[in-house]
Chain A
Amino acid sequence: MSKSFVELNDVKLRYSEGDELALETTDMKIDKGEFIAVVGPSGCGKSSLLKLVSGLMPPSEGNVIVDGKEVSGPLKIVGMAFQNPTLLPWRTTLDNVLLPMEIVKPHRNRLRKHRAEYEERARKLLATVGLEGHEDKYPWELSGGMQQRASLCRSLIHEPDLLMLDEPFGALDAFTREELWDILQNLWMIKPFTVILVTHDLREAAYLADTIYVMSKRPGKILVERENTLPRPRDQETTFTQPFTDLVHELRSHIRDVREA
C-alpha cells in the first residue's frame, strides 16, 4: 500500500555490460510533494540517480516506479535544471522559459492560439524569481544568477510533478545561491511538487530538503537517510540555529566517514 510517488527498488546501474557498478543496490521512496536532497562525494553516481528516475537511463537491475508506473523511457513531465543554465542564446528570456510549452502536451497544441495567456504565465513566473523587466533580454545579457533563475523558471513553467535539480546553484556566489534557495523554497511552498536535488553543498541540503540521503563513494550506495524536520519556511535565521548547525555537522561527519572508508 505504498503511496510513494517515486520508488527505486533494488536498483543497480552499470554504464555498460561488464563495467563496474556505478550504483550499488539502491532503494528509495519519495512521497508526492516531498523535497529530497542527495549528497555525497563527487563521482558517486548522484547524477546517474537523476537520469534513472527521469528515465533517461535504464537501470541494469531492479526497477524504478514513478506515479505507479514502471519507468521504461524518458518521462514526459519532468522539469530539469543543471549547474549550467543551458539557455538557448538565440531566444529571449521569455521565449526560453516558454520552450517546454512548445514540447509538452497538451500545451504544444494550444500555444499558438493562446500565446498571450502563456506569455502572461511565464511573465508571472519570471516575476516571482525577480526577473521582471528582463523578459526580452537575451541570456548573455543576464548575470549568471539571473540565467540560473530563468533556467529554474524553464524547469517549472509546465508545472511538472517532478523536478530534478543537478547542483543547480553550484556555480553561483554564496549570496546569490542563498537567495535562490529562498526563491525555490517559496515556489515549492506555494504549490508543492516533488523535488530531487543533487548537491554537494550540505547547507543547501539542510536548508531545502525534507529528507536527505547520503551516498557512499563509487559504487554509489545510500548510506544514510536523514529526516529534516526543521520548520518551514526556513530563512537566514534558521541557518544560525543550533538544530541547523547540528544537522550540517552530522551530514559532514557522514561524508567524512564515506570519504575515509
Chain B
Amino acid sequence: MKKKLNLRKATPWLSAIGLFVLWELIVRIFNIPPYVLPTPSESIIVGWQFHEAIWMHAYHTLYTTLAGFAIAVVFGVVLGALVGSSRAIYDAANPLLVGFNSVPKVALVPVLVMWFGIGTVPAIITAFLISFFPIVVNVATGLATLEPELRDVLRSLGATRRDILIKVGFPRAMPYFFASLKVAITLAFVGSVISETVASNVGVGYLMLSASSKFNMPLVFAGLLVIAVMGIAMYEIFNVIERRSTKWANRGNPTN
C-alpha cells in the first residue's frame, strides 16, 4: 500500500524525466542542429548561465500574469454571478462573451499597445482578457444548475434571491470556481507571454524573442521551460487550495 503510494507520487517526475531523456536521445540520434532543436541538457545549461537575466524576466512575467489573473478573478466572479443568477443577463451577455472569447487575443495586443504603450500594462490586460472567460462560465454554471427542488424549499421558507445566492448558490459554485482557476492561471501565462513577445522589453516572452533573433535556441527553450515550470507550480497551488476548500465535492476521489 505504502509502496503503491510512493510510486504514484513519483509518477509525474518519472514521466517528466522520461520525456527529457527521449527528447535528448532524439536530438542526438538524428543529429538535429541546436538552432532547430537544442537538447534539454543544453537548454538547462544555457538557462543556468543566464539565470540572473532569466530570473529577472521570469519574475516580471509572473507578476504581470498574477496581476492579470487577479483582475480576471474579480471580474469573472462578478460577471459570472450576474450571468448565473439572471436569465435575462445570461441571454444578453452570452453571445457577446462567446464572440469575445473567439477573438484571438494576440490580435488585440497591437490595439492595447496603441492605447497603453508597450510594456507591462498591455501584458497584464492580455493576461486578464484571455483568462476571465472560463471563470465566468464556470461560476455561472455553478449558480445556474441549482436543483429546482432546493430553490422551492428555500423560497417557501421566505428566502430572498440574495439568501439563495449566499446560502446555496455560492457554496455550490465553489468547486466550479476553483476548477476554472486552474484553467485560468495557465491561460493567464499564455496571455502575458504573448503580449511580452509582441510588445515589451521585459519578461520571458521578450527574452525568448530576443534570444531567437540571435539564434540562441537553447535560451529560447530555457525560457519555455521556465514558463512551463511556473505554470505547473501555479496550477498545483490552486489544485491544493481547491482540494482544501471543497472537500465535499471531491469525496471518494482517489487523488486526495
Residues on A close to B: CB < 8 A?
Answer: 51, 54-56, 74-82, 84, 86, 88-90, 99-100, 102-105, 138, 140, 154-155, 158, 164, 166
Residues on B close to A: CB < 8 A?
Answer: 147, 149-150, 152-159, 163, 167-168, 171-172, 174, 246, 248-249, 251-252
CB<8 Å pairs between A and B, sample of 28: A54-B152, A54-B156, A56-B152, A56-B156, A75-B156, A76-B157, A77-B158, A80-B153, A82-B153, A84-B149, A86-B149, A86-B153, A88-B150, A88-B168, A89-B249, A90-B174, A99-B167, A100-B157, A103-B157, A103-B159, A103-B163, A103-B167, A104-B157, A138-B248, A140-B251, A140-B252, A154-B153, A155-B153
| B147-A78 in contact (CB<8A) | no
Give the contacting residue for B248; candidates A74, A75, A89; CB below 8 A.
A89
| A140-B248 in contact (CB<8A) | yes
B176 to A: closest C-beta gap in Å? 13
Most chain B CB within 10 A, of A79, A84, A99, is at A99
Contacts of B157 in A (CB 8 A): 76-78, 100, 103-104, 158
Assembly CA distance A90 to B170 (angstroms):
11
Most chain B CB within 10 A, of A51, A81, A82, A140, is at A82
Most chain A CB within 10 A, of B157, B172, B174, B248, is at B157
Contacts of A84 in B (CB 8 A): 147, 149
| B248-A82 in contact (CB<8A) | no
| B158-A103 in contact (CB<8A) | yes
Chain B residue at smallest Cβ distance from A87: B150
Chain A residue at smallest Cβ distance from B146: A86
Assembly CA distance A78 to B150 (angstroms):
13
Q: Given A74-B156, A90-B246, A90-B249, list of 8 further CB < 8 A pairs? A: A75-B158, A76-B158, A80-B153, A86-B147, A88-B168, A102-B167, A103-B154, A103-B159
| A74-B158 in contact (CB<8A) | yes
B217 to A: closest C-beta gap in Å? 50
B48 to A: closest C-beta gap in Å? 47
A159 to B: closest C-beta gap in Å? 12
- Report if A105-B158 is in contact (Cβ < 8 Å); known contacts: A86-B153, A138-B248: yes
| A164-B249 in contact (CB<8A) | no
Chain B residue at smallest Cβ distance from A54: B156
Chain B residue at smallest Cβ distance from A83: B149
Contacts of B159 in A (CB 8 A): 103
Contacts of A78 in B (CB 8 A): 156-157
Assembly CA distance A88 to B158 (angstroms):
18
| A80-B156 in contact (CB<8A) | yes
Contacts of A102 in B (CB 8 A): 163, 167
Contacts of A99 in B (CB 8 A): 167
Contacts of A158 in B (CB 8 A): 157
Most chain A CB within 10 A, of B150, B152, B171, is at B152
Assembly CA distance A84 to B149 (angstroms):
8
- Report if A51-B152 is in contact (Cβ < 8 Å); known contacts: A88-B168, A140-B251: yes
7 smallest A-B Cβ distances: which pairs? A76-B158, A78-B156, A90-B248, A86-B150, A74-B155, A89-B248, A82-B149
A56 to B: closest C-beta gap in Å? 6
Assembly CA distance A84 to B148 (angstroms):
11
Chain A residue at smallest Cβ distance from B166: A102
Contacts of A56 in B (CB 8 A): 152, 155-156
B46 to A: closest C-beta gap in Å? 49
Assembly CA distance A6 to B157 (angstroms):
17
Assembly CA distance A158 to B156 (angstroms):
12
B88 to A: closest C-beta gap in Å? 18
Chain B residue at smallest Cβ distance from A151: B153
Contacts of A75 in B (CB 8 A): 156, 158
Chain A residue at smallest Cβ distance from B245: A90
B172 to A: closest C-beta gap in Å? 8
| B156-A164 in contact (CB<8A) | yes
Chain B residue at smallest Cβ distance from A84: B149
Contacts of B252 in A (CB 8 A): 140
Contacts of A155 in B (CB 8 A): 153
Contacts of A164 in B (CB 8 A): 156
Contacts of B155 in A (CB 8 A): 56, 74
Assembly CA distance A76 to B172 (angstroms):
23
Contacts of A80 in B (CB 8 A): 149, 152-153, 156
Assembly CA distance A77 to B155 (angstroms):
10
